[in-house]
Structure 1
Amino acid sequence: MSSDVELVEVTRGGRVECVHRGHVVVCDAAGDVVWALGDPSAVIYPRSSCKMVQALPLLESGAAAAMGLRQDQLALTTASHIAADYHTDRVNAWLGDLGLTDDDLRCGPQMPRETEARDALIRAGGTPCQAHNVCSGKHAGFLTLTKHLKAGPEYNDISHPLQVAIKQTFEEVTGEDSPGYGIDGCSAPNHATTVHGLARAMAMFANAHKHSDTRSTAATTLVQAMAAFPELVNGHGRSATELMRLVGNGAALKDGADGMYIAILPQLGYGVAIKITDGADRGADAAIAMVLDKLGVLPDSPAAREWTRPQIRNRRNIHCGDIRPAAALS
């Protein structure tokens, strides 16, 4: 990714201490690039930023309707949650509705990211289960479609009917043949595409409400679920949740591991994709906020500036540095 550009600067004592480089692409309804930094053709793994694409077959197949999935459950299919009770209680209830248990998930156990849930688990002498995994909502959706298809239990296998449907959908909405796939942290295949392809897919979601075909209806339903339940998509205090609340207007945001971030902006008809080359969450959180600010969709408020111009404070709460846009984003 040698053609990446400086996006975010981190300062201390008035000097730039480090820089986060990356790529930004903003696409319109036609899938054309309206603004870009870095290289739109850079090939990336979207990681968890494309969960709404992975959830499309669940709705398009009729499985979501047949199961009577609620809006909050659909939001969870797109989630990288923090395993707070308001996440795991829903996942476990969903598994019960399917007649399944934690053992049927294939995402692997993970310690809760929410401090309260983690500490409660430790105090109880418990061990993390698969429902605590950040991707357990997506996997509950996978199990729902697997049951609907009457397919085998190893739904993460690349040849499984679920994964075949996801790959086909992924290539259709990105407008590109994927050059390959990697295995994500939750053990599911994650297909590669370009930053432009990912932004093109997000622009489809941003403009889906203007159409009534099956895919557009499914995409609109997912975006509306994310916007209605931002706390389920990420968690209170987390970037995707708080930035969705600030942007409003039906916008949906989603982070992904190793520096990925997307935005779906129905009010502009734009899809946004960001890749931070060094994979730092700090860089990705700042870059998406700065891009949203540059696009004019964030309010001019102290709450917004906490994301677009975050301060670095030490353990004595002394303001010792700042995170700010590099020249390309300023």
Structure 2
Amino acid sequence: MGFTTLVNEYRGGVLENVHYGAISVVDEKGTILYSAGDPEHMTFLRSAAKPFQAIPVMKRKIDKIYGLTGQETALFAASHRGEAFHIDALESILHKTGIQEEGLHCCATYPLNEDAKAERHRAHESKRRIFHNCSGKHSGLIALSKHMGWDEHSYYDPEHPVQQEIVETLAYMAEVSANSIPLGVDGCGLPIFALPLNKIAYSFLKLACPDLIEDTDTRDAATRIAVLMNEFPDMIADTKFVCSALLKDANLVAKGGAKGVYGIGLRKERIAISLKVSDGSEQVWPCIIASILESIGYSNRETIDRLLALAPNTIVNDGGTEVGERRAVFELKA
């Protein structure tokens, strides 16, 4: 599979868990600068695709047409975790666009954020579609379909115009042919796409450095969604998650997806990073990303510290006693 050891976890000095994966770091020409494991490992983007899925929505200025705020628009690229301010913004989007919650293809669920979930349980609330972490993306795609006169009910079908435009957008950003992109079905029921890790990184670099995008409309749309992600980072995940922690750094455009995939574009450095944890763990993202940033000499220590505060490399038990450690063990090879 081309994976290498990324993180070892020790308990009482004994190796307990090993997390394998692959990393790719590319420059503005798409050249692989550094890697660990196979830098071209084919990987489903899962929710890391959301900024690219939002580009067709931003191209048509759906936010302007329906009078959405910046916070609301940022949800088009979000994996929100259902905090109260997310739900308030989503209800506002539905009200302004005239979309019915039942029209969202994502299933009804409870929020991913544990505190938010507990709050809904205490209030004896039922599962809702807007509690689903992908509901912002779905709202944007329905609003685009409504504006374009496309069928609003089948927007999740791979043959639907909105899905065809998304695939073409991703192919354009990654500089691959659309028919070379493998398709699957994401957790929320929408089509999802696989790319080699280096192409995922290159796509994120274009989000960070949109001057690399030749098409004016695509460049403007990518610029706007990336800026909103930085302006409203807590809308993209929540107040205690990796994506929001990274996006508080204005130099970064970052988005993770289910099963351990992550993409980061660095504006000043004009490089980008992608990674895949083979066992799908998200808990080791902070350890891996912090180690990568340290390895490339990233200057913003505050960002690295903010990451490690989310998931410290010191492992504690349920009572808060230190019982082990998490250690990044990979080396980036030129």
User: 2: distance between equivalents of 1:155 and 1:146?
Assistant: 7
Q: Which amino acid aligns with 1:216?
A: R
User: 1: distance between equivalents of 2:60 and 2:95?
Assistant: 22
Show the counterpart of 1:221: 224
Does residue 1:280 correspond to 2:291, yes or no?
A: no
Deviation at 1:124, TM superposition (A): 2.5
Contact residue 289 and residue 307 of structure 1 kept, 8 A: no
Does residue 1:255 correspond to 2:250, yes or no?
A: no
Counterpart mapping for 1:276-315 below 5 A = 276-295=277-296, 296-299=298-301, 303-306=306-309, 310-315=313-318
Deviation at 1:136, TM superposition (A): 0.8
User: 1: distance between equivalents of 2:84 and 2:329?
Assistant: 38
Q: Deviations over 1:133-152 (max 9, x none)?
A: 00111111111211111111
> Secondary structure of 2:284's match?
helix
TM-score normalised over the length of structure 2: 0.92
User: 1: distance between equivalents of 2:224 and 2:78?
Assistant: 15
Show the counterpart of 1:204: 206
> Secondary structure of 1:192's match?
strand
Q: Which amino acid aligns with 2:284?
A: G
Contact residue 105 and residue 138 of structure 2 kept, 8 A: yes
Deviation at 1:12, TM superposition (A): 1.4
TM-score normalised over the length of structure 1: 0.93
Q: 1:323 to 1:14 in 2, by over 3 A?
A: same
Where do 5+ consecutive residues of structure 2 fail to align?
Answer: none
Contact residue 95 and residue 102 of structure 1 kept, 8 A: yes
User: 2: distance between equivalents of 1:209 and 1:261?
Assistant: 22
> Secondary structure of 2:254's match?
strand
Indicate the larger mover: 210-219 or 223-232.
210-219
User: 1: distance between equivalents of 2:241 and 2:100?
Assistant: 28
User: 2: distance between equivalents of 1:183 and 1:250?
Assistant: 32
User: 2: distance between equivalents of 1:116 and 1:257?
Assistant: 21
Counterpart mapping for 1:12-161 below 5 A = 12-152=11-151, 153-161=153-161
Contact residue 243 and residue 289 of structure 1 kept, 8 A: no
> Secondary structure of 1:24's match?
strand
Residue among 178, 189, 214 paired with 2:191: 189
User: 1: distance between equivalents of 2:5 and 2:157?
Assistant: 38
Deviation at 1:70, TM superposition (A): 2.9
Contact residue 211 and residue 217 of structure 1 kept, 8 A: no
Q: 1:60 to 1:307 in 2, by over 3 A?
A: same
Deviation at 1:306, TM superposition (A): 3.0
- Percent of pairs with identical residues: 27
How many residue pairs match? The answer is 327
Does residue 1:232 correspond to 2:235, yes or no?
A: yes
Q: 1:324 to 1:221 in 2, by over 3 A?
A: same
Aligned residues: CA RMSD: 2.0
Q: Which amino acid aligns with 2:233?
A: P
User: 1: distance between equivalents of 2:279 and 2:225?
Assistant: 30
Deviation at 1:65, TM superposition (A): 3.4
Contact residue 258 and residue 279 of structure 1 kept, 8 A: yes
Indicate the larger mover: 32-41 or 187-196.
32-41
Where do 5+ consecutive residues of structure 1 fail to align?
Answer: none
Contact residue 289 and residue 308 of structure 1 kept, 8 A: no
Q: Deviations over 1:226-245 (max 9, x none)?
A: 11111111101111112333
Indicate the larger mover: 186-195 or 33-42.
33-42
Q: Deviations over 1:110-140 (max 9, x none)?
A: 2112233222222232211000000111111
Contact residue 227 and residue 244 of structure 1 kept, 8 A: yes
Deviation at 1:101, TM superposition (A): 1.9
> Secondary structure of 2:24's match?
strand
User: 2: distance between equivalents of 1:183 and 1:285?
Assistant: 27
Deviation at 1:312, TM superposition (A): 0.8
Contact residue 181 and residue 194 of structure 2 kept, 8 A: yes
Contact residue 25 and residue 274 of structure 2 kept, 8 A: yes
Q: 1:32 to 1:210 in 2, by over 3 A?
A: closer
